[in-house]
């Protein structure tokens, strides 16, 4: 069974930093694309960042230069380092995985793409106050 468990959310002032962690387990036959989506109240879920099977990252335009995703294969953990947080970053952040061979997180930013993700964590809340 695949399981994704997020941690690291919290409340910070604008300009502050947080590091999210996603502990992944249950992947047996291949290394999937893993990363992060977020959803703010009243808005649709949107892709934030992801890594492909080789660890190559992709980012939403809104977080480029501020967020960094990394993958620790030995520990089965995916991190999202979030710097220079803005109030508009406030959302529930979800770890997600796409199992398809040849998956490409760069496609995660297309409208409605979250519907095609294979696994989800339960989310961790990030609040950036102004």
- Give the contacts of 124 (CB within 8 A, at least 6 positions apart): 6, 7, 8, 9, 20, 92, 93
- Residue 88: predicted pLDDT: 96
Higher pLDDT, 31 or 52: 52
- Residue 101: predicted pLDDT: 87
pLDDT confidence of 113, banded at 50, 70, 90? Answer: confident
Averaged pLDDT score across all residues of the chain: 94
pLDDT confidence of 30, banded at 50, 70, 90? Answer: low
- Does the pLDDT of residue 67 top 90, yes or no? yes
> Is the separation of the CB atoms in 108 and 64 below 8 Å?
no
């Amino acid at each position: 069974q695949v399981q994704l468990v997020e941690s690291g959310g919290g409340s910070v002032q604008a300009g502050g930093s947080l590091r999210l962690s996603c502990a992944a387990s249950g992947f047996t036959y291949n290394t999937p694309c893993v990363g992060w989506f977020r959803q703010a109240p009243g808005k649709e879920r949107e892709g934030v960042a992801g890594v492909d099977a080789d660890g190559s990252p992709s980012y939403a335009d809104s977080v480029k230069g501020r967020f960094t995703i990394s993958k620790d294969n030995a520990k089965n953990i995916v991190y999202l380092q979030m710097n220079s947080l803005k109030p508009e970053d406030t959302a529930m952040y979800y770890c997600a995985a796409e199992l398809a061979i040849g998956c490409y997180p760069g496609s995660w930013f297309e409208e409605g793409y979250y519907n095609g993700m294979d696994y989800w964590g339960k989310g961790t809340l990030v609040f950036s106050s102004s």
